[in-house]
Amino acid sequence: MSWQPGFSRNDVEIITRKTVYRGFFKVSDLQIRHACFAGGNITVQRELLHRGDAVCVLLFDPVMNAVVLIEQFRVGAVDKSLSPWLLELVAGMVEPGETAQDVARREAIEEAGAIIKDLIPITRYSPSVGGCDEYVDLFCARIDAAGMGGLYGLDTEGEDIKVHVIPLSDAADLVARGVIDNAGTIIALQWLQLNIDKVQQAWA
């Protein structure tokens, strides 16, 4: 028997919602009443970070059996990782009127100079649902990585990006050794390892 949640959105009441910060991101303070497993309900106070939804895309060249990852500075890793310059997927925020596929194609050009030929959806997930409303659409994209590399990014967005073409086996090893330590990249690379035969057949 497959799992189903015991409650729905109808079992949650937002009593108050106040914006307490508005900058690059927005933060709300919420008072919430929700149902409890043992019966009755509980009232809690929570802060919620509004990031907007995002798209991450693993650029894969099935001929070279290589992936394209980007290296850039990440403020959230300053006090957490060995280096705050991380190897990541191409990614971007969903703007009004855009589909997730639109974002994947736009960001592939802006951040890596890559033209996407095909897209396979991998999954949709929340990176930190305990306090953030962001959801991420994750894709694998077929590209031609021949001659790729160099520096990219938009000055207007403060981006400073270096593009790397890496054999899939080497990228998998970086995940296994904990060198790649960001969620989207780990999920996408492990998905590709599990599905490499189907992906290669589809894109042969």
Q: Strand 118-125 relative to strand 90-93: parallel, antiparallel, unpaired? A: unpaired
Q: Which of 71, 88, 95, 157 is catalytic?
A: 157
- Tell me how far apart the alpha carbons of residues 17 and 32 are, in angstroms, rounded to a whole number: 9
Question: Can you spell out the DSSP letters for 6-41?
Answer: S--GGGEEEEEEEEEEESSSEEEEEEEEEE-TTSSE
Distance of CA 52 to the CA centre of its chain: 12
- Tell me how far apart the alpha carbons of residues 71 and 90 are, in angstroms, rounded to a whole number: 10
CB 91 within 8 A of CB 100: no
- Tell me how far apart the alpha carbons of residues 73 and 78 are, in angstroms, rounded to a whole number: 9
Residue 157 is among the residues annotated as catalytic for this protein: yes
Active site residues: 157
